[in-house]
Structure formats: C-alpha cells, structure tokens
Structure 1
Amino acid sequence: MINAKKAVGERAAAYVEEGMTVGLGTGSTAYWMIEKLGEMVQAGLNIKGLPTSKATEEQANRLGIPLVTFSDVKQLDITIDGADEIDPQFQLIKGGGGALLREKIVAKASRRMIVVADESKLVDVLGTFKLPVEVVPYGWEKTAFDIQLMEGTPHLRKDGDNTYMTDNGNYILDVDFYPIREPRKLSEALNQLPGVVENGLFIDLAETILVGTSDGRVLIK
C-alpha cells in the first residue's frame, strides 16, 4: 500500500503552484506529498508552508520548505492532507495521527482542501474507524462519561504505558460511534461538551479527493 500512498501524495503536489501558501498535512500519505514538494522547492518553486504538526514541521525544515505561522498569514491558498475515512459526501474522519485540532484550524483557513488517501479509506458510512476527540486533561473522565451518554464508547488513547499527549498538550478519546449517519449533528453535539477541544469529523471541508489504488493509479473524485 506504500506505493499507492506515494503515488497519490506525489500527484497531489502538482496542485501546488508558484507563490502559494500551503497547509501541510500530517500522516503517511501527506508525508509523500511533502517529500515531493521538497523536491519542487529545491528545483526553484517559491511557496510557503504552514505545518499541521511538529512532525510535519520537522520534515518541512529538513527539506528546506519555507514555513510561516498564523502570525504571518490569515488565509492559505490550499491544504493537502490525509484522512482516516471518507464517505460518499466527502465528509471525513481525521485524527488517527493525533493532529486533528491543528489540521482543522488549517483546513478551515484554506481556500481549498485536497484530501489524499488510499482506497481502503473510502467507506459507505463513517465510524468503523473510531472517532478521535481531543479533550483537555482536566476532568477527562467526566468528558468521557458525557460522551457515553451520547451512545459513544470512548477509549483513552495510549502511547505505550503512558497516556497519549497531542502537540497541544491534550488527550485523545477514540470513540466508537458506528454507524455515524448524521456526522454534522454529531460534530456539533460533541463540541458543545465542556472539556472537548475539537473532534475528528471534518464536515464540508474537502473539495477534491485523490485516491491511490493498489496498482499505482490515482483516481480523482
């Protein structure tokens, strides 16, 4: 599957044009897009990137991609990022890599969002992949209880023997809500809960989906 991810990531880089400010996604497919952008920058392409995680920031720095922050820009031309699940309406679940809050901030600040994924990420109904919900550490147990009252089954994400910590210093609850038939309604309800920082449902943000297949083709949706 790495070939599919590499093919689709490199294809997505072709959407980046001279002078653009680009939201740089996080994850195994976005990784290849950033690697290709690095080659393009080294060949003379003039762009600026805004990373969605510390890992992406480190990768971009290694490749010599100039970076900016939201103190420098308020809107981005394009964001290219991966997804954990994509439904037929282009609604997404993201956050498997733990960067969902920064990814959503960057996506919402962009004129266009392109999603890169392999074909295994296409689903009829969201929710087989547990929904990541970023929560503040204080009182996370109460937040998890409130999510249970919404008929979700939350699991505190671990990093070995320790609790997983996001780049923002928060926890993640991976919640089984399958099937998610009304993602917009669920997203709004979750974000009303005290203690919830953001959830991994990306509603009406993806404009174009690039799907890498096992035989190396890239499908555009």
Structure 2
Amino acid sequence: MPTIAIISQKGGAGKTTLALHLAAAAHDAGRVALVIDTDPQATASQWAAWRQDAPPEVIDSPPPRLAAKIEQARGQGAEFIVIDTPPHADSAARAAVEIADLVLIPCRPSAFDLSAIQTTAKLVQLLRKPAFVVFTAGSPNAPRMYQEASELVEGFGTTACPLFIPDRAAFRHASAEGRTVMEFEPEGKAADDIRRIYKWTCLQVGTLVGSSKKPARKSSVHKGKNVA
C-alpha cells in the first residue's frame, strides 16, 4: 500500500496533474486509489467534483491530520495513495515527505524552475526519503534539453526520473472536462506517458502494477468531511 508524495515549492510545476493521473492509472490497473489534497486551493478536489466523484477518489486534509487520514484510508481499503501538496508551504511538504514511501518532484525543464527545486531537494535529503525529479511540460522532442536538466538536478543531489511528462494538449482538454488523458484519448501519447510513469513508480516502491481485486465503481474510502 504505497504512499506517493508529490511536492514542489514552485507553482505551476504540474503537481496536481501528476497526482491525479498517477492515482487514475492505479485505479485503471485495478487498485483502490486515493488522492489526498492538502492544497488550500483544492484544485484536485474541484476536479473530483467536476467528474461527480468518479474514481479515483479525492479527499482533503490539513497537514497535521495527514498521517491519521492515511492510516484510516488504508484501514478502509486504499491500496495506492497519492498526496498532492501546495506550493510555498513548508509544513505541508514536510508532512507529506515524512509519511511517504516515495517522493516525486515535478519540475519544468527550464532554468528558473530547476533553480527553484533546490529547497525541495534539500528537504527530501534531510528526511532521507527516496525522491526523483519528474520533468513536466517540456517539449516532447528535445532530448538534449532533458539530458542537461538531468545533469543539473544531479548536482543538487537528487536523481531525475528517466521518464518525463511532456507538454501535450490532451492534458489541457481532459482536465477542462474533469477527465484523465486515459479517458480522453486512451490510445494517445499522453495516456501512454502516464501508464509508463505509473509502472515505473510501482517498480520504485516494490509493489505490483495491478491488483488481484476487481476495481469497484466507487472507492470504499469515505469523503474528506467524514474522515477523522
């Protein structure tokens, strides 16, 4: 029952997109997936409302209650938990890192964004949690750019994920409709990007990609206001 924290001190890095799509990929693979939204802007929760609470389920949590909510969610059957965190919030990021099995740091492959992740890199190093930088929203056809960005990240003492999530129109179209890219364009490149990074994430935390259980139409985890 892995818990994945998505953190970045810089806004616009694609944290919510990555969090929601990892959970959606887990659900598609047959797991009971949950997103815990710790961002006061509640973007993930709004997306869940747009899709009328179809899986993956999203609940909210203030950082001090994060551990308790995760424990209860696991007791209610959650098999794959993703924590979405706000930017510029050290307490939320620290709480998420402390409870996580793996930390993913989304980052655009640009100079300003790369420089801004140093604070996040120091946090995961301080707490000694496995972490990877996931490059997002860059060109799909710029291997040299990703190579140079990876080398810079290595200089911060953090490893770059070998996979990345390039800028694709499907993400914008899908989110506007409260859908995932797998629902919007099942055979598209964006959907393939997500499935690949989900499988890679499962490998990092030593868990199976799928579940032997049959996925339910709705998660068994209670909504945020009903969870302690």
Which has the larger strand fraction?
A: 1
Same fold? TM cut 0.5: no
> Which structure ranks higher in relative contact order (CA pairs < 8 Å, sequence separation ≥ 6)?
2
Larger radius of gyration: 1
Q: Which has the larger share of helix?
A: 2
TM-score (norm: length of structure 2): 0.38
